Structure 1
Amino acid sequence: MVRSNMKSRIAIPALAAAIVSVTGLMAGPAFAGNAPSASSHTVEVAASRSATDVIKTLASEAIVGLTDQSLSNDTRRQNFVALMDRYFAMDVISRFVLGRYWRSISEEELNEFADLLQDYLALNYASQFKDFNGEQFVVGDEKQQNKDTFVNSQFVRPDGPPVSIVWRLREFGDEYKIIDVTVEGLSMGITQRDEFTAVIQKNGGEVSALTENLRAKVGK
């Protein structure tokens, strides 16, 4: 349990830094001529042909919408939610983090939970994007396993060992979407599921208790 908690403390900032650091690389001289405009975002996503391309395109949008020091916290969180809408399969993620309990709620309740989950994740992660200091992020190979594709990467820190980050993507129609991220062997989906199912179990198996808990945390 202690090891898991230590990994969690590393994973949360590393996950945020990973996306920001690859945007830093793409904004450098080698990529300066390829920086996308806001109007080209949808076209570039549709044109992505590999899971690796999706991670790189996510990164290029993150630098525009998350790292600007002039952004207010509310705007940064809104931009974070927009990126999740575009690149993450929130319906799949929501069912996974609810465990078996997702079967006990209606589609409307699941959609409501997914919206609150986005706001909750944005509240926890978005503010960390303003602190990027130019650490190096290296995208490696991608591997197919059953119906999912895993993109390997490393977050290289100047003051510590590199952090391994694996992006898990699944193809929906003609595009890939992220369904999980593993940092140093710790699945963020499993970590969130453990936290959420504990709340549900303490409240007699009622998902509504978790929903209200999230609503209070995000101020809705």
Structure 2
Amino acid sequence: MQIYKTFLAGLIAAFVLVLGTAAAPALAATPAEQYITDNVQKGMGILNNTQLSKDQRKTEFQGFLLSLTDISAIGRYTLGQYRRTASPEDLTAFEAAFKDYALAVYQSYFAKYSGQSLKVTGSTPLSADETVVKSVTVDPKKPSAKPFEVQFRVQNNGGKMVVVDFSVEGVWIRELERNDFTSYLGQHNGDVKALTAMLKQKAAQTK
């Protein structure tokens, strides 16, 4: 599933760049921008804490990812129209598999993108409760390389902010994932159990 592999690469690049780098707090002019900036610093603290064992760092990092993103909502969204026809039991199993898979992939890839710098450049409100935070990334090891844009879709859910989507160079990852999953389901008679089994298998392989 080439589109799926492309999605993973883009997602991890975008996600880890914001977690593994520092941004200037002074740039955060809105609550959503401040939220992204603060979490950059928090992610850095976990990843660079040498007093933690590997397992402790993994556990704390997973907890951090779960607090930053609404993985359950993202997972439900990726099912598209097939969510309406899936049983409650199948949906519950899928969400659990999706969460485990996403966390396994983040853990596997985050180290590959450490050392990048990220700069919050502004934000665009989509509604009273949703904002797109814009940023650019630069590799300090390659100062001549062209920076690319990463955007974060931040929702304010009753005072709690969460990231619900990412884009790399204008391509929104959640949409790519839904296209890939619904394509898979279309080829497997809408069998959410089959998709869940596939995610479990890939999570195990990644771990």
Tell me which interval the TM-score lies in, with the shorter structure as reference length: 0.7 to 0.9
SS at match of 2:150: strand
Q: Secondary structure at the match of 1:122?
A: helix
Partner of 2:84: 103
Which range moved further: 74-83 or 100-109?
A: 74-83
Q: Quick one: structure 1 residues 113 and 77, their matched pair in 2 at CA, closer, same or farther if it must change by over 3 Å?
A: farther
- Identity percentage over the alignment? 24
Question: What letter corresponds to residue 206 of structure 1 in structure 2?
Answer: D
Once the two structures are TM-superposed, the CA of residue 205 in structure 1 deviates from its matched residue by 0.7
Q: Distance in 2 between matches of 1:121 and 1:20?
A: 17
Aligned length: 196
How does the TM-score come out when normalised to structure 2?
A: 0.78
Contact 1:97 1:190 in 2 (8 A): yes
Matches within 5 A, 1:134-213: 134-146=115-127, 147-158=129-140, 159=142, 160-213=145-198
CA contact (8 A) 2:17 2:117 kept: no
What residue ranges of structure 1 are gaps of 5+ in the alignment?
Answer: 32-48
Unaligned 5+ segments in structure 2 are none
SS at match of 1:211: helix
Contact 1:17 1:128 survives alignment (8 Å): no
Aligned to 2:16: 16
Instruction: Give the superposition deviation at 1:20.
Output: 0.7
Structure 1 Cα separation of the partners of residues 103 and 4 of structure 2:
22
Is this contact kept in 1: 2:13–2:113, CA < 8 A?
Answer: no
Kept in 2, the 8 Å contact 1:21–1:132? The answer is no
The 3-state SS of whatever aligns with 1:205 is coil
- Distance in structure 2 (CA, Å) of the matches to 1:94 and 1:11: 14
Residue 20 of structure 1 aligns with an amino acid whose one-letter code is: G
Q: Write the distance in 1 (CA, Å) between the matches of 2:57 and 2:119.
A: 25
Distance in 1 between residues matched to 2:85 and 2:53, nearest whole Å? 40
Could you list the per-position Cα deviations for residues 129-182 of structure 1 after superposition, in whole angstroms to 9, with x for gaps in the alignment? 334553321012122113421111111124321110110011111111111011
How far apart in 2 are the matches of 1:209 and 1:202? 11
Q: Is the 8 A contact 1:67 1:132 kept in 2?
A: no
Change in Cα spacing, 1:200 to 1:151, as seen in structure 2 (3 Å) is same
2:150–2:168: 8 Å Cα contact kept in structure 1? Answer: yes
